[in-house]
Amino acid sequence: MSEFNIEVNFTDGNLTVSQQAVFADAAERWSEIIVEDLPDVGQIDDLLIDASAPFIDGNGGILGQAGPTAIRRFGSSLPYRGVM
């Protein structure tokens, strides 16, 4: 069993229950693939993703975007927080 933990924080009410389930399933699957634990940063155990579905722009525009918002300063320089 993996010790890598991904927590998804839904920051707005725009994602349906089924969309939230897709995020949760993906986080669970990636936690199975990534098996090495990372040092906690504050209360974040490995990775926290803030997920939302804001209106970005009109039809034919951006489908979505994601990226890190905070990176570990010591050791790996891997992100510990991000947005989707």
> What's the pLDDT tens digit per position in 59-78?
777 778 899 999 998 878 99
* Predicted confidence (pLDDT) per residue in 26-45, tens digit: 999 999 999 899 999 999 99
- Report pTM: 0.86
Residue-wise over 35-51: b if at least 16 C-beta within 10 A, else e?
A: eeebeebeeebbbbbeb
In this prediction, residue 1 carries a pLDDT of 62
Which of 43, 36, 44 shows the shortest CA–CA distance to 76?
A: 36
